[in-house]
Amino acid sequence: MATDWKNDGVQVIPANSLDPNTAATQGMDRATAVDLARAGASKLWAGTVTIRADAKTGAHHHGALESVIYVIRGRARMRWGDALQFVAEGGPGDFIFVPPYVPHQEINASEVDDLECVLVRSGQEPVVVNLDIDGVETPTHVRWVDPIHRDGAVD
């Protein structure tokens, strides 16, 4: 039996057809582009995230799922740890990786512009575990260093 490539092949999901009915964390708007129900994806979820100017999410984690955030517009300040004691920032073109079970908080570092990102997760489950964490007042800045290319690390 031949594969129906027209219906079971590549899919282009128009920006104006994303589904805003997805698990959310206070302070952000998520919209689904790719999942099992919408596109037949069985191993990942993808969508968009917008954090309004001068806003932040509540502390949360996504269980066993891995997440990748790609910053399109704005400046993302990420805090993480049991007391949100670590901080790093990413801007347009940067990727942010969040491992499983890591307590974290996304912050829009701009007081005037929205932060717009693409989000991809390693599974279909809409896992958002909101946490009651009082973050430390002054978190420690963490500079990412590629473990493979330590000599070429960039701030």
The pLDDT of residue 149: 66
Whole-angstrom CA distances from 7 to 17, 42, 114, 140 are: 18, 16, 36, 49
Total Cβ atoms within 10 A of residue 122: 15
Cα–Cα separations (whole angstroms), residue 3 to 11, 34, 54, 115, 134: 15, 21, 49, 41, 53
CA distances from 86 to 3, 66, 89, 105, 106 (A): 49, 19, 11, 10, 12
Tens digit of pLDDT per residue, the chain (155 long)? Answer: 888 888 888 888 988 999 988 877 777 888 999 999 888 889 999 999 999 999 998 899 999 999 999 999 999 999 999 999 999 999 999 999 999 999 999 999 999 999 999 999 999 887 888 899 988 899 999 988 777 766 655 55
Q: Where are the domains of the chain?
A: 30-143
Write the pLDDT tens digit of every residue in 2-33: 888 888 888 889 889 999 888 777 778 889 99
Half-sphere exposure of 58 (CA within 13 A, CB side): 11
Burial per residue of 63-96, b for 16 or more beta-carbon CB atoms within 10 angstroms, e otherwise: eebebbbbbeebbbbbbbbeebebbbebeeeeeb
Backbone angles phi, psi at 152, to 5 degrees: -105, 15
pLDDT score for 105 = 94
Angle CA(91)–CA(33)–CA(117) in degrees, nearest 5? 10
Q: Which fold has domain 30-143?
A: Jelly Rolls (2.60.120)
Q: Say which amino acid occupies 14.
A: P
Residues 6+ apart with CB under 8 A from 84: 59, 103, 104, 105, 133, 135, 136, 139
